[in-house]
Structure 1
């Protein structure tokens, strides 16, 4: 792969991949590592992309799969996150972000891909390897859990 092409890919997709990884992993440093691994994978495999949308979907899938592998790692179970709170623009966003981070990783992943990245359930299913019905049910359950968490904060 041409080094200039890799630089263009990084410049174009780094924020999207980082946000997805952070939503799944909940740790900024691990998210950075997952994104770096995704770009290294792209450099190693040098895939031919049909379109910019295919390029983005491929990189997101590699990132999501890498995050899932990190979550399964025994090392992760032995560590605790260092941050007590997560950075956000304002108090209301901080409250929402903390509520989202309280959800399980699978719920965070599906919420992020659907609401922040704008993917449809079929596209999320293709990226994560889940069935489309599973994505819809996880999305529904994640919304319900998030709603319960937010209602609990308002009371």
Structure 2
């Protein structure tokens, strides 16, 4: 019986290794700070281990992890603790000035636009899949992505003029 639980633990470790970057990047995109992303990351994988969900395939597992990350991020934003705290400056290492500017501008976007941009550009997900995961109409996701691009373009141009 011990051997069986070891296999389960090995499988869990494999899943965490495989999806840890994706979950962390999405949590960071949603929360905007390293510390808060760490908390969301832990909660997502805690729920995974605790619930032991059964999936049809890897795409279903990936969608579940994305949905739980978004839900945990939403819970984070609505928590009483978060409403009564102030953000500390997280030090993040970027390679170029453009990366710093883009990160800053992405964090200024409302969360619903940030998550769509993240899933589309950083996770390379098609609009149809994003709309299914976020439980939004395909046209709504397309509009949010268009608006996010316009906001980023406008804010980046304003910054160039300064």
After TM superposition, the score normalised by the length of structure 2 is 0.88
Q: Does 2:28 match 1:22?
A: yes
- Give the Cα separation in 2 of the matches to 1:130 and 1:78: 30
2:151 to 125, 141, 145: 145
Matches within 5 A, 1:77-116: 77-83=83-89, 86-116=92-122
- Give the Cα separation in 1 of the matches to 2:90 and 2:57: 41
Moved over 6 A (4+): none
1:11 to 6, 14, 17: 17
- Give the Cα separation in 1 of the matches to 2:52 and 2:143: 35
**Where do 5+ consecutive residues of structure 2 fail to align?**
none
- Give the Cα separation in 1 of the matches to 2:63 and 2:152: 26
Identify if the C-alpha distance between structure 1 residues 85 and 144 changes in structure 2 by more than 3 Å, giving closer, same or farther. Answer: farther
**Where do 5+ consecutive residues of structure 1 fail to align?**
none
Tell me the CA shift for residue 86 of structure 1: 4.4
- Give the Cα separation in 2 of the matches to 1:45 and 1:84: 32
Identify if the C-alpha distance between structure 1 residues 68 and 141 changes in structure 2 by more than 3 Å, giving closer, same or farther. Answer: same
Q: Is the 8 A contact 1:34 1:63 kept in 2?
A: yes
Identify if the C-alpha distance between structure 1 residues 61 and 84 changes in structure 2 by more than 3 Å, giving closer, same or farther. Answer: closer
After TM superposition, the score normalised by the length of structure 1 is 0.92
Decide which structure has the larger Cα Rg and report it.
2
- Give the Cα separation in 1 of the matches to 2:133 and 2:50: 20
Partner SS, residue 59 of structure 2 = helix
Tell me the CA shift for residue 142 of structure 1: 0.8
Q: Kindly provide the CA deviation profile for residues 53-105 of structure 1, in whole angstroms up to 9, marking residues without a partner as x.
A: 22112111111111112112232222222117643222111111111111111
